[in-house]
Amino acid sequence: MDDQRRLIIIKEIQSWKENKLLPPQYCDFLLALYSEGDNEKLVAATIESSNEVQISLLQVFVLASNLFVIPLAIAFLYLTNLSVGKQILVLVIFLFLSIGYYIVTIKQLSVKKIYPLIILLMNIYVISILLVTQWVQVPFLTYSVAIVQLLCWMILGVRMRYRSLIYLALFTLFLSLVAIWI
């Protein structure tokens, strides 16, 4: 039997042992049998299995649907002829939906906290800008809301030690300032 197949079988037996699908004595016997008493193969299989990232369908669905909150909100806002009050209500519902996605992602999915946090902050940013532009329609207030939010992102990034959040805030701040002057 070639080494690749043997390592696959060893990894499978180790997962059986971890998930208690077989008694530990049987797993130890099978591991000794397939590794031929060679501990290096066991260690190599253990290292390979610990480096693999397991992504479930639920994780993909939650993260992807959270990314589509903003395009749906923008499409709903500009493609429907609802009153301003109803549009604000729908945007607030989208905002609560985004917060719910963040809570579900943090509590139940094994994803780094920075990814759902960035998605939530982007959703809050876009929805608040849409709300201010639709409701108040004062450009200075829109710019102020954008700059204050991005400064909050930078403070949050410094406090939580997320460099990517700081860089994203600086980049978005730069884009916002360019958009103001154009």
Write the pLDDT tens digit of every residue in 70-105.
788 778 777 888 887 888 788 888 888 888 888 888
Higher-confidence residue of 125 and 39: namely 125
Q: Maximum distance among all alpha carbons in the chain?
A: 75
CB-based contacts of 162, cutoff 8 Å, min separation 6: 114, 117, 156
Does the pLDDT at position 55 exceed 60? Answer: yes
**181: confidence class by pLDDT, cuts 50, 70, 90:** confident
> What does the pLDDT average to over 144-169?
91
pTM summary value = 0.61
Higher-confidence residue of 37 and 92: namely 92
Higher-confidence residue of 164 and 91: namely 164
Does the pLDDT at position 111 exceed 80? Answer: no
Please tell me the predicted confidence (pLDDT) of residue 40.
57
Higher-confidence residue of 145 and 77: namely 145
Q: Could you give the C-alpha distances from 77 to 27, 50, 123, 138, in angstroms and in order?
A: 59, 45, 14, 18
